[in-house]
Structure 1
Amino acid sequence: MSSDQDSCHLCKEYLRDSVSIPCGHVFCSICLKTYWDHADHTGSYQCPECRVTYNKRPTPRRMGSSRQLTSQRNTDSFPPPPPSPDYNYAGPQDVGCDICVGKKHRAVKSCLMCLASYCEKHLKPHFESATFKRHKLVDEIGHLDRQICPQHQKGLELFCRTDQMCICVLCTVKEHKGHDMVSAEQERADEQQRLGATQAEIQERIHDRLKQMEELKHAVESLKSSAQRAMQECEKMFSDMMRSIERMQQEMTKLISSNKRAALNNAEGHMERLSHEIADLKRRDNEITQLSRTEDHIHFIQSYHMLIAQTEAEELPSVSVNPYFNFGPVTKAVSEMKQHMNEFSNDELVKVAKTINKMTFCQLDDPKKKKTIKSEEAVMYKSVPVQEPQYRDDFLRYHRPARTSREHRVAHQL
């Protein structure tokens, strides 16, 4: 046997096809592979020497042949190949053999009579000796102390249905005397049937839950499409309303412009007529001035009577002007319309929000609470019978009030 640095920790022989692992220890390639193959079912891999644990099986790194050359120099002849290693040692998650001394092998069977677990080597007497023929072997299990009665240190073979616990034969003499007792096999058979019914119920629940999950998925997809469709339709309707408001703005602008134009035309006509009348009156004033300066008495008398008669016969219409005329009422009307629209839109938005908030998409129903509510509703409906309306007052109770004048006006404006 060579020194420790040239030997494998597992087979205790010279290193063959040496490999190293991340912690730095070196083993034979076949030894390490066999050792870790037995740990595959646990998912935890330990270094056989320093016990460092790896959650993922490391990839060994092949070493050079310096160790083998050193071994060859220290020996006269090449050592024989090591025997095929048997590394069925119990890992941290395995049940160890109770007979093995030192490092225990992994147990393959447990005896319920001996209350011990055995590896393949120490299990042979149970198959070869007649003494163990009546012993019951099961797949290796841990915590065999649970198979022993803590009071009498005997194997648990019976089940007390009165106290709902496993007992030994000695427990029937005193502690459980007169109780309803059956064998563990019988109780297992009965509970196996109930277990099957429970499993069927669980599978039915799984089916129901999967169905609810599928329904919820469809509902979610429908919700998404409905929300998208609602947003598009609302966007279109709001666009229509904005176009309607723009049309109202154009009509209002057109109304103000036409009234302004008509007023200006009227004023211009009056100003033109007044200009003609002023020119005519100035002409008469000049004639009167010239007449007053003439020395011809006959001409004065004839012209005077004609001018006086013409002036008295003509009555000039007066033009009245409203100095307070403006378009303030139009602005006021538009301001009131804006206020009414704001109030109406806020009220309608609150109604829509309340309606949406009352709608429940999905919820968890408590079966107990649901039964209680149903029973209370049944009592309430039974105590207060529903009657159909027969008279006018009964119909008016369910009558939906008509729109107010303001709502009609706002709706018409929209």
Structure 2
Amino acid sequence: MAESLFQTKDQYNCSVCLELMKDPATIPCGHSYCMSCIKAYWEQDEFSRPRCPQCRHEFHTKPALNKNTMLAEILEKLRNTTLQGSPAQPGEVVCDLCTDIKLRAVRSCLECRASYCETHLQPHYDIPALKKHKLVVATEIQTCPRHDKLLEAFCRTDNMCICLSCVMDEHKGHDTVSSAAERDEKQATLEANKCTFVTKRKKREKELHELREATEAHAQSAQQSVEDTELAFTSLVSFLEKNCSEVIEKIRAQEESYLDQSADLQEQLELEIAMLMGQEDVIDKFLQTEDNVYFLQNFKNMPSASGAEESPSRTLQPVVSFSAVSHMVYEFKEKLEIFWKQKVNNVGEILMSSCPEEVPPQVQQFT
């Protein structure tokens, strides 16, 4: 039982805080989060309707949140079963105090400069002196290779994290600030970039919606034009049916050409929207890190709105009006009927002039 729980523990983590869910709440799309995490996420998301952080499904109003009691019971059993932690896997941060089996660390202490599993972390919650220590998500704590101190400052001149001794040593006179202050400034830049990506994505989503509506209307217009054409040509003699098929074929060809262009444009917009959403997700996950050093060192790898080239708005206009085609067909029908009657009368007159005394019955019906 314990083995199976270890193997599936990650699926019970909240995708917002990345921790085992507390007071789990399941939203209508089926995904579950910590009650407090999903509330905070919706309060911070000021640019759109409430949506699921995972599948991006949007809701017209904020869904009512209730505790998922069945999931809560499973999580409680999981906590009790995994109280001693789970063995660290390759690439994971290990507990510095474990001796025999190195368990996976859940928190790192910036004061102690050590990482702890659930069991060895407990003193930081119980001992008053340790409660004041700064705890972050388990990470490899980096120190100054020269002074063996925490990288608590940032040199803007050299664009690198340094310790406080470096500020008074080789970086003396440089433009230096605290790591936290530099992180705040760069975080503000990232948040501004995210707002830009959100605005661009919404613009593309609007264009995609308008394009789909235009495509549907265009298809309906094409279908109506086909029906009008068929109705007009069926009233003519049989030899005009071939002309009717030719007109329909041209309409279908134009419609297919438009739909092909529309499909390509929709695919481009969907790809661009997916890319923008991916950049949002990267920034969202990166903003959740608590390690200032990791944040600052990896900031340059984040997507930048200033580097994203603005794509022009894409619209697709039909090259022909199907209503005009329908009008032209009816006008052609009327003219053809008039022309046909005139020719029939001419034929009758010719026949009667050639045989004035005897007019065949089949000619009399046209006079």
TM-score (norm 1): 0.39
Instruction: Say which structure, 1 or 2, has more relative contact order (CA 8 Å, 6+ apart).
Output: 2
TM-score (norm 2): 0.43
Q: Which has the larger radius of gyration?
A: 1
